[in-house]
Amino acid sequence: MKQLAIIGSTASGKSDLAFALAQHYNALILSIDSLSIYKEIDIASAKPSREERSSVEHFGIDRLRPDENASVITFIDEYSRIHTKALNDNKNIIIVGGSSFYLKSMIEGLSKIPDYSQNTLQNAKQMLNDLTECHRLLSEIDPLTMQKIALSDPYRIEKMLLIYLETQMAPSEWFRAHPPVPILSNCPVLNLQVERELLRKRIALRTQKMASNGLIDEVAALEQHYGRIPNSMKAIGIIEVLEYLDAKISKDEMIERITTHTAQLAKRQQTFNAHQFNLVSSGGADTLYESAKSILKQG
């Protein structure tokens, strides 16, 4: 079994490249994308079509309800599933997606998390009703850790609180005592690059297609079923539609804002990808195809 990861900014063509490689080199695909993981978010996530998913088996897609929270653990579980399937079926693995932070976390590994008692879980639930006080308490206990965690990040505040309540250790002490164990090893990373102006045009075209294919109706249905509180409802492509549904902006303004915000995201992704990975190859689709081909054909 061979495996590799293809990273790149949104609308760069990563998924198309991964699909072409998977078809020719006997591979399964693991999507690491913060929206495609959710059921019912099809247009806003630009997830692969059902035809593509029937031709090449995909993992990491339609695994959670929109009112559930995705985390690196979600994708670790998906990697475990695809790894078992690949070994059993003698397949290769191609990991692809724009949420490179999750990939980086899997490569570098995670520290062991303590087993939480029922008492710890109940105490944490009660304390988290006052998130500001939790953040203040944890900042006194572990200022170095908490200065990196915003008050607007309830997921990480809860994680730090649970560790402290269960172990009576500052989270930083716990992590020093339990260093990270890599989840994903021997996985070459390839970075797909697209010239900025071309990427902007692709983003604009994709946004127009999303709007034409029912994006507004999709978001309206999601809001009706799940409200606006879930993290998934705060994603680019959804928050702008909600502004439109609130009559705060016109449809044209909605499309322009999605395009602009997506382009800004793409720039952040490009910067992150260039500096956070030991890249085996970086370049256009043709360059990466040849690099990936040589990796998948080894042995």
Full DSSP string of 24-77: HTTEEEEE--TTTTBTT--TTTTPPPHHHHHHS-EESSS-B-TTS---HHHHHH
Q: What is the pTM of this model?
A: 0.86
- For CATH 3.40.50.300, the residue range(s) in the chain are 3-109+182-296
Q: In a 10 Å sphere around its CB, with 0-12 CB exposed, 13-18 middle and 19+ buried, how is residue 118 labelled?
A: exposed
Q: What is the pLDDT of residues 121-149, one digit of tens each?
A: 999 999 999 999 999 999 999 999 999 99
Q: Contact at 8 Å (CB) between 135 and 157?
A: yes
For the chain, the distance separating the N- and C-terminal CA atoms, rounded to the nearest angstrom, is: 9
Using CA atoms, how far apart are residues 76 and 109, in angstroms rounded to an integer?
A: 10
Write the class of the CATH domain 118-177. Answer: mainly alpha
Confidence at residue 104, expressed as pLDDT on a 0 to 100 scale = 95
Phi and psi of 27, rounded to 5°?
-125, 155
Sequence-distant (6+) residues with CB within 8 A of 297 are 25
Instruction: Render pLDDT for 221-240 as a digit per residue (tens, 0 to 9).
Output: 999 999 999 999 999 999 99
pLDDT for the residue 208: 98
CATH of domain 3-109+182-296: 3.40.50.300
Give ranges for CATH 1.10.20 in the chain. 118-177
Question: Which token pair is 235?
Answer: 């994603």
Q: What is the pLDDT of residue 155?
A: 84
Among candidate residues 241, 264, 263, the one with its CA nearest the CA of residue 253 = 241
Residues of the chain with pLDDT under 50: 299
**Cβ-contact 2, 299 below 8 angstroms:** yes
Q: How big, in percent rounded to 5, are the helix, strand and coil portions of the chain?
A: 55, 10, 35
Per-residue pLDDT at 90? 96
- Structure tokens, 291: 């690099």
